[in-house]
Amino acid sequence: MSKIEGLEELQKRLSQDFDNRIEKTIIDWIESENITEYPPQTEANRPDNVWYERGFGTRYKSGAGRKTSEDMKSKWEIKPKNLMIDLSNQAKYSNYVVGTEQSDIMREIGWPNIPDKLENDLGELEKELKELFDKEL
């Protein structure tokens, strides 16, 4: 095995395929943890005078509504770069639903807290990513 000195040399050695394999590892973790799955609907999602319809937004008994949903389920992004992984959700409100600013009501409804899940699963993810890294080199 040849010796690698410096981050620049290491980055040259890592292939685009390696980034793709990192991304797949994270996607597999997301799917295994059901992170993109919505919890069961609550009373707030059931038709009444005013309710929230997932995938649309606020609905009114009159038939009117406001399209405010950003479909958080489809807004996940994974960007492996420079030995780092950026996992984010582009829906404006995602941080309050599944992120560091998650409200108690969202946790009670059953939304996962992604930072907590990552913390709990970090050892296993690190192991899988280290195996990929070792194979690459």
Is residue 98 pLDDT above 70, yes or no?
A: yes
In which residue are the tokens 């059931």 written? Answer: 46
Q: Above 80 in pLDDT, residue 80?
A: no
Q: Domain residues of the chain, as ranges?
A: 7-40+74-136
Q: Which of 8-12, 47-51, 91-95, 114-118 is most confident?
A: 91-95
**Residue with structure tokens 């992170």?**
35
Reported pTM: 0.66
Q: Is the pLDDT of residue 73 over 80?
A: yes
Q: Give Cβ neighbours of residue 127 (< 8 Å, ≥ 6 apart).
A: none
Say what the pLDDT of residue 94 is: 93
The runs of H, that is alpha helices, within the chain are 7-13, 16-32, 94-98, 104-109, 114-136
**pLDDT at position 60, please?**
92
The pLDDT, as a whole number, for residue 16 is 61
How confident is the model over 95-111, as a mean pLDDT?
94
**What is residue 105's predicted lDDT score, i.e. its pLDDT?**
93
Burial of 36 (0-12, 13-18, 19+ CB in 10 A): middle
> In the prediction, which pLDDT does 59 show?
92
